[in-house]
Structure 1
Amino acid sequence: MSVVDPSLQMPNPQSVPERCEVLIVGAGPAGNACARVLAQAGWHVLLVDQLPQGRDKICGDGLIPDAHAALARLGLLDQVMSLAQHMSHVGCVGPRGGRIDVPGQLAVLPRRDLDRLMCQAAQDAGAQFVAPARFEKPLEDAQGRVNGALLKVGDALVEVQAEWVVLATGAVPKALGAAGMCERHTPSGVALRGYVHAPSMVGRIKALEIVWGKAVRPGYGWIFPAPNDCFNIGVGVTDSHSAVGGKGSKKALNLRSIFDAFVESYEPAAALMREGQLVSELKGAPLRCTLTGARWSRPGLMVTGEAAGSTYSFTGEGIGKAMETGMRVADALLAGRRQGWAEGQVREAYEQSLRALKPKFDLYQRANRVNAFPWLADVLIWRAQRSPRLLQRMSGVLNETSNPGHLVSLKGFSRLFLE
């Protein structure tokens, strides 16, 4: 799981176009999805990233049904699935060892491979990709409207004029701050993961396992089978920082200690680390959740993906929603051109599409109390083992057809014992 050395792929600053219709900063799921949709429609798209493709990305790598739907729209589902490790269940494991396997359409593909495939697909559609190219600040006209960006390409500073700039820069808030879009500098959560090559564990861990318990409280641990006899293992903690006035302080936690406690307390994790070989460093990364923490747009600029908080706080899943929000930027731009909208109408269409998603993110935030009070997972698992209807509802949460907040509400708990 090596990281590509950016110095080996330094672009020529003179190869960067002076202008484009849309400049997309960030070649992750959101930026790549947005670039592909717009390029397919014939727009002149410049897609840039501060690292070349092939870079590592800290992620659980799980592709749940919303990611499948987004990839299908992009015309990439079959290609991605040909490389991914297919799974049919999420294994939910409670503090007392109870387990329920929730069915779903699932797969695992390392983000290094997914992002590279999606970036190439954007280029195949006609987008131009330049990396490494770091976003320094937006360019503005006399009225303060963003009309491009200053990029650092090698040692040179390059100005690119654009009708629109899209920030798809992920959870690190530096670009958001430079663009005047950051409302919360601290993350919503943090995660730590590594890859373990363990052929002996293939077939012994057969689901995307999510584990709650005192050892990982107030978070959760996971083990996801990946391609090539590897496993993605990690821990995540949501609500890891308390924010005051847009800034914040980190709670007293140590991700490496939580990871070690997870391995010590969960035997499959211990066996994985004992029998396998760690083939990547254990790396941490921030999470931005619940569609909060950043302004979604300003004149000439829109924010999308995890930069806009597209990760679910309960599950830590963000790949599918990042792609979806990226395509919503593209949809707003396409509709604006098709219908002759003013700029403000384009931005309002995009923001309205995110407002429509926000109640779902709020429900996942309510369900997040399972991470703080893992005994709730014990109750849900115990009851789901006895109730096909509850198991169906849990599968609905995975497929986004059921309300996750209801599972841990007072009303929801009363229903548990009536089904």
Structure 2
Amino acid sequence: MTEPKSKVDPAMPPEGASLPAACEILIIGAGPAGSAAARVLAQAGLDVLLLDQLPQGRDKICGDGLIPDSHAALARLGLLDQVMARAQPVAHVGCIGPRGGRIDVPGQLAVLPRRILDDILCQGAQDAGAKFVAPARFEAPLLDAQARVIGATLKVGDELREVRADWVILATGAVPKALTAAGLCERHTPSGVALRGYVRAPSMVGRIKAMDVVWTKKVRPGYGWIFPAPDGCFNIGVGVAGSHKSEDGKGSKKELNLRKIFDAFVESYPPAAELMREGELLGELKGAPLRCTLTGAKWSRPGLLVTGEAAGSTYSFTGEGIGKAMETGMLAADALLAGRANGASDAQIRKAYEQSLTALKPKFDLYERANQVNAHPWLIDLLIWRANKSERLVKRMSGVLNETSNPGNLISLKGFKRLFFEG
């Protein structure tokens, strides 16, 4: 990638925003990954500038579920109590099969709309000392003579501005535009797609208590969900993993109509129909892409680290990505802090960060393998049938939530044999 053609004045702040000319760490994207990285780095005393193309507290299409890895990340950030004060605590994930069977898997769980969660995380970064500016959109990296990233060209309003930085962290989510501009996008198509809405239904409070994930033949190859949110609201949606998967590996969109899949979910799952009938849909149903399995983008280039969903930090089987986004953001921060403390080179910092993601990759691959449940929902019927007869299997399923059990083993050939012989 060549030096940006536009010549802008980096010393002149844009109208309506206090944008510094330079910083130590420039973070693009104030979602869970970017805000987590910003908080850790700012707490260590670094000069951090956190940017987003939308104002603080922006919405994000998401199931809003906080599973144990999210709780662990929030605890490290020192924000767990603040989040849980606003969230809806939940005791179980309810797995519902096509034949109507159900198993409730216990876990440390909660639901909080992303608009509120992201606001808490972004504010947490600012409370630690990071500077936040929005709206500001990443246009291109700034490069030195050796093609090392030394900052970014940003669009604020109708004007372009430059900010120089020792390091740039790209945490721009599933949309590939920023990755492409940075020369790091390896796959423009998403790993999956999802559609969700919020329904206010006070009459359903206490009747839908778990984070219900539902597999039906009509929703295949996807799944539906209903999660109880605060204030008498529910997050309801459908997701399809592998929506752009093709045999040649290049990715080609399948014939999917998410609204039809959503309607099929409501039609085929009585509690969903009851929720939509008794409740009030707040706003419109909204769709979004997913980037999963730590694939689809290069993780770094000189002077720049990619983190969060831009790096593919969402699990393909469950669609959960909040916890892993925060975790990868903190891994980026850790690599930079360790590098500074040890006097490491650019290459050594990048290597340390990429090794930390590589260490996570086998876990993502197992979730990808477990994803066959979505294409073959009868497998969940078998799992639910056996789990209702085996306390040990329920503990293993809870271990998947807690990341202490291998999700792939639950539906492998070996796993099927264990279904019939374990107690």
Q: Confirm whether residue 239 of structure 1 aligns to residue 242 of structure 2.
A: yes
1:143: how far off?
0.6
1:12: how far off?
2.9
Aligned to 2:325: 322
What pairs with 1:1-400 in structure 2 (closer than 5 Å)?
12=15, 15-242=18-245, 247-400=250-403
1:252: how far off?
1.1
1:54: how far off?
2.4
Report if the CA contact (8 A) 1:36-1:127 is conserved: yes
Distance 2:248 2:184 in 1: 15
1:249: how far off?
1.6
1:155: how far off?
1.2
Distance 1:308 1:199 in 2: 38
The superposition leaves residues 45-93 of structure 1 with CA deviations (integer Å, 9 ceiling, x where unpaired) of 0000000012211000000000000000000000000000000000000
Aligned to 1:3: none
Distance 2:366 2:256 in 1: 25
Report the CA distance shift for 1:304/1:45 in structure 2 as closer, same or farther (over 3 A).
same
Aligned length: 410
SS in 2 for 1:281: strand
Distance 1:134 1:248 in 2: 27
Distance 1:16 1:185 in 2: 30
Tell me the amino acid that sits aligned with residue 51 of structure 2.
Answer: V
Report if the CA contact (8 A) 1:11-1:130 is conserved: no
Distance 2:90 2:263 in 1: 26
Report if the CA contact (8 A) 1:95-1:378 is conserved: yes
Report if the CA contact (8 A) 2:211-2:228 is conserved: yes
Structure 1 segments of 4 or more deviating over 2 A?
10-14, 242-248
Distance 2:246 2:306 in 1: 21
Q: Give the root-mean-square deviation of aligned CA atoms.
A: 1.2
1:399: how far off?
0.4
1:280: how far off?
2.2
Report if the CA contact (8 A) 2:14-2:159 is conserved: no
The superposition leaves residues 347-398 of structure 1 with CA deviations (integer Å, 9 ceiling, x where unpaired) of 0000000000000000000000000000000000000000001000000000
Distance 1:125 1:415 in 2: 49
Distance 1:245 1:255 in 2: 24
Q: Which blocks of at least 5 consecutive residues in structure 1 are unaligned?
A: 1-9
Report if the CA contact (8 A) 1:11-1:132 is conserved: no
Distance 2:140 2:15 in 1: 20
Aligned to 1:402: 405
Distance 1:380 1:245 in 2: 32
Report if the CA contact (8 A) 1:184-1:243 is conserved: no
1:213: how far off?
1.1
Tell me the amino acid that sits aligned with residue 236 of structure 1.
Answer: G
**Structure 1 length as normaliser, TM-score?**
0.96
SS in 1 for 2:167: strand
Tell me the amino acid that sits aligned with residue 285 of structure 1.
Answer: A
1:244: how far off?
7.7
1:13: how far off?
6.1
Report the CA distance shift for 1:246/1:178 in structure 2 as closer, same or farther (over 3 A).
farther
The superposition leaves residues 225-263 of structure 1 with CA deviations (integer Å, 9 ceiling, x where unpaired) of 000000000000000003588753211111000000000
Aligned to 2:7: none
Percentage of identical aligned residues: 79
Report the CA distance shift for 1:401/1:289 in structure 2 as closer, same or farther (over 3 A).
same
SS in 2 for 1:241: coil
SS in 2 for 1:222: strand
Report the CA distance shift for 1:88/1:147 in structure 2 as closer, same or farther (over 3 A).
same
**Structure 2 length as normaliser, TM-score?**
0.96
Distance 1:32 1:157 in 2: 24
Tell me the amino acid that sits aligned with residue 398 of structure 1.
Answer: L
SS in 2 for 1:292: coil
Report if the CA contact (8 A) 1:13-1:156 is conserved: no
